Every structure is written in structure tokens, then in C-alpha cells.
Amino acid sequence: MGNGKKVKDIELSVLDLVAVLKGHDAAYSFQNSLKLAQKVETFGYKRYWFAEHHNSPSIASSATSLLISHIAQGTEKIRVGSGGIMLPNHVPLVIAEQFGTLDALYPGRIDLGLGRAPGTDPITAQALRRNLQGSGEDFPQNVLELQQYLSDNPNGHVHAYPGEGSNIPIYLLGSSLFSARLAGMLGLPYAFASHFAPTYLRDALRMYRDSFQPSEQLKEPYTIACVNVIAADSNEEAKKIASSLYLYFLNVVRGTKNQLNPPVDSLDGYWSDAEKSAVMQSLYYTFIGDEDRIAQDLGTFVADTDVDEIMACSHIYDPAARIRSYEILANAIRR
């Protein structure tokens, strides 16, 4: 157990992977993302993040900073950011300039979440890094360089304009112990990708808290757990809606990149026992049900992990059902 945090003390946020729906295009997904962001802002959500992915017809968040600007422009107060920018794909100075520009356009509302994975397959990673020498191994140095560009940086020979002096809050993301230790050592908030990589969640949270050193950005540890949430007005409806999520992750298991499919009445015949087991293992931290079920199960999760914030990812085909899911989640947390 942790410090006895209650569910009502937990912040709520959104991770939007901008899934491309079967029968629709990316433009349709962008429209739905803006509508969802506007709604969750009224529901009291704290932040709305996008994750950088490449070479996938099923995910439309490759130009992450552009989507951040799109959502920030269409909302008023919700924080908007990256969950995350895959730093090995980029020169730190360029990211400092991009997010410095975003901060100048939308002051005090921009988050910069950073990951060290490529966000794609090895061949695409090679294409992304063709002019770069770095890899995930120099991630700590790149984070420090990025921090310098976003600080006052009076002695620097290279400056980020705009960006310098913005001190945009940086978050480290991870699904293993590496980023947990680094986030603790640098005194940065830490977000764990338990929505698809649940194995090391508790070990990573423990390592982060044990290694935490206060910094100018953060005086005490701050943890975010990203989980899948599919909420509906009944448990039966939620279970059916969740079939789109299972089919989506079946693509991951098979190495295919199909778009997000509509829900089906039964998954029998869609997967083998081995495939079902692999999908369920990846989706261990998935919460499905009505308001009562979500409140109960998430309450147990918060008590077990002592996280400060829940970031909900919801692969739901129908845009209206997705909005309703986030509304039910907000009601469950308020209870």
C-alpha cells in the first residue's frame, strides 16, 4: 500500500493514440480528437497527450507537435502535450524549438513527455535516424541537453528561440526500469506505459520513488499510470465495446497494422488460445464496465500502486461511445 491516497484525490488525463477507424481516414480521427478534448476539458480532466508513432496506417499521431497545437487551439485550459516524443528520433534543439513555440502560443498549458523507444519498427527507425548518430543509449544526455535549451541557459553557445527560459515541464515515460531510475535521479515526473506493457509497473514505481532526488521542477515524486479504460452504461455494453480494443491488440500480436474495427458480439473464432493469452497479458491493466465496476476496480488499482494520476487510453470505435466512456470514468473518480 502507499500513503492512503483516495480515488477522489487522483488526477485524470487522456492518452489519445489517434486510432484510424476502419472506413474512415486520419482527418476524421483528428476531428474526433478535438471533440473529445473539448468534452474531457468540461469533465475536469487535467491533460490530453499524444504519442509519437510512425509507419502505421492505424495510428495518426506521427506529427505529434502539430496535433498538440491543434488541440490546444481548440480548448481553453486543459494541458496538452506528448506522451511522448520519442527523443532518439530527434535533435534535442529542434524539440526545444517546437515546444518553445507551442508554449509561446499556449502559455502554461504544454507538457513535454519523453520516451527513448523509436515508436516504430527497426526499418522505419533507421529511416527516421538517417541523419542522426544517437540511439536510445544516449537518451540521458539528450534529456539533459533538452533541459538546458529550455532553461535560462545564460552560458550556452546554442540557444532555442523560442523555448529558452520557458522551463516547460518534462516527464519521462517508460515501460521498464531504465527510465524509472533516470526520472528519479533527475527529479522528473514519471509515467509508466502499463496500458500495453504491464510487467514492470510495480517494480518501476518502487525504483522511481527509491531513487528520487528533488529538483527545481519537482520536490516530491509524481507518478502517472497509463491504463486502458472502456466504460459504458452497462457491463454488457462495455464488454462488447471492448472487443475493438482486443482486436486492435491482436494486430500487435500478429504483427499486422489493421485499422480499429467496429465491436463484435463475440471474439470466438477471431483468435487462437495462444493469441488470446498474449493479448490478455498485454492488456492486464484494462478496466471495463459500468460506473460502479470502474470505480471499484480503479479504486483497488490506486490503493495498490499509490499513483498520483490515471491516464486513460480508450480504443473505442464509436466517437460518441468514447466520449461517454470518459464521462463515466470522470463520474466514477468523483464518487
pLDDT band at 300 (very low <50, low <70, confident <90, very high): very high
Please tell me the predicted confidence (pLDDT) of residue 128: 74
Looking up residue 275, the CATH number of its domain turns out to be 3.20.20.30
Which pLDDT tens digit goes with each residue over 210-229? 999 999 999 999 999 999 99
Is residue 33 in some structural domain? yes
Which pLDDT tens digit goes with each residue over 126-149? 787 755 555 567 899 999 999 999
Is residue 2 in some structural domain? no
Residue 120 has pLDDT above 60, yes or no: yes
Please tell me the predicted confidence (pLDDT) of residue 1: 40
- In terms of Cβ atoms closer than 10 Å to its own Cβ (0-12, 13-18, 19+), residue 1 is exposed
Counted domains in the chain: 1
Residue 55 has pLDDT above 80, yes or no: yes
Is residue 41 in some structural domain? yes
Is residue 1 in some structural domain? no
Q: Cell match 513527455: residue?
A: 113
Please tell me the predicted confidence (pLDDT) of residue 5: 60
Is residue 307 in some structural domain? yes
Is residue 121 in some structural domain? yes
> What's the angle, vertex CA 89, arms to CA 85 and CA 95, rounded to 5?
55
CB-based contact 240:265 (threshold 8 Å): yes
159 backbone dihedrals φ, ψ, rounded to 5°: -125, 150
Residue 286 has pLDDT above 60, yes or no: yes
Is residue 263 in some structural domain? yes
Is residue 48 in some structural domain? yes
Residue 259, domain extent: 7-334
pLDDT band at 207 (very low <50, low <70, confident <90, very high): very high
CB-based contact 135:104 (threshold 8 Å): no
